[in-house]
Amino acid sequence: MKVSSSKALCLVLLLASIAPTSGAEAPSITTSFNEFWTAAKGQPFLQQEHAWNRTIEATRRDIYDSVVWEKQQDPYWQARRQIWLKARFAKYPALAADIPAEVHAVQDAVAKQSVRFKMLFPDADTHPPITILLAPNFDAKSGVLSSGKPVLAFAADSLLLEHAQLDIVVPHELFHLYHAQHAGIRNDGVMPDAPLTLPLFEEGLATYVSGELAPGHTDGELLLEDELGAIPANKLPDIARRFLADARSKAIDAEHPEIFKRWFNAAPKPYQQGLPNRSGYWLGLQVIRYLRRTYTLAQMAAWSPAQAEAQVMAALQQISA
């Protein structure tokens, strides 16, 4: 299909804008990875870690501290970091040759989907704050830099490992960034003192948006898990009732982290009898579809956290009745 000159120019500008958020002095992540792997390939872990610190994190310190490792929120980040890095370095021999192509694929997907996203949300940034990096603990993630600025990070190595469908993942994450900037719903709704209804709303709305921008996919594809897409529609009232029992719980609860996990986390074993893990994503999508009968997408995207929480509670109660 022929692309108009104005759209082509937008693509070029958007591709140029996808740079490390720590500053223009940082090299491309492909250049950094090649330098890292040249020094680290076949070496003991401590030497690999030293090369990683020097070539990957040193020029991207803020985003690694604030978004990747979440040093301020996680008292155990150092131990987790070592475990994650050791596991990821072990996979790089099989991944290394394909990482540059994956970085390019992510850049291309971001550029194309950003143009489409701005058509759906005209007030979205022309140059959204996005960085492509390497990370062993997520594939794509919204976060907040030390300055308070929202940012979106794509981990090319994790996306490559997952064989991720970028036309689904990218618009989903673009919405999380947009939502943080325009409605103050940050960290995908997992905010201090936020009840569980907020991540339910946030993930449901982002999944809905990805379906709008990547039409033709099944629910299983949009939810990144066929088992979620196979949940029968007639189970919706029962699942809504089950969620309502947890709805007032905090998304971040150091004493009861299992409440959030049983609705939103992946794990080898099921958290709930008769429900696949991450069922909160499925339920969130159904809640958004229910709310769309009354509200436009633009209206819902503009709701404050308090408005979103109230609307979700009302919808869950009506769905479960």
Q: For each of the chain's 321 residues, which pLDDT tens digit applies?
A: 333 444 443 443 344 444 444 444 678 999 999 999 999 999 999 999 999 999 999 999 999 999 999 998 888 999 999 999 999 999 999 999 999 999 999 999 999 999 999 999 999 988 899 999 999 999 999 888 999 898 999 999 999 999 999 999 999 999 999 999 999 998 888 888 999 999 999 999 999 999 999 999 999 999 999 999 999 999 999 999 999 999 999 999 888 999 999 999 988 888 998 899 999 999 999 999 999 999 999 999 999 999 999 999 999 999 998
* pLDDT the model gives residue 25: 60
* pLDDT the model gives residue 101: 98
Strand order in the sheet with 150-155: 130-133, 150-155, 140-144
* pLDDT the model gives residue 17: 42
* pLDDT the model gives residue 26: 74
- Strands (DSSP E) found in 98-230: 130-133, 140-144, 150-155
Rg (CA), the chain: 20
Cβ-contact 11, 127 below 8 angstroms: no
Closest by CA to 188, choosing from 130, 232, 135, 252, is: 252
- Residue extents of the structural domains in the chain: 21-105+122-164, 189-320
Cβ-contact 130, 142 below 8 angstroms: no
Cβ-based burial of 100 (10 A; exposed 0-12, middle 13-18, buried ≥19) = middle
pTM: 0.86
Coil, helix or strand for 168? helix
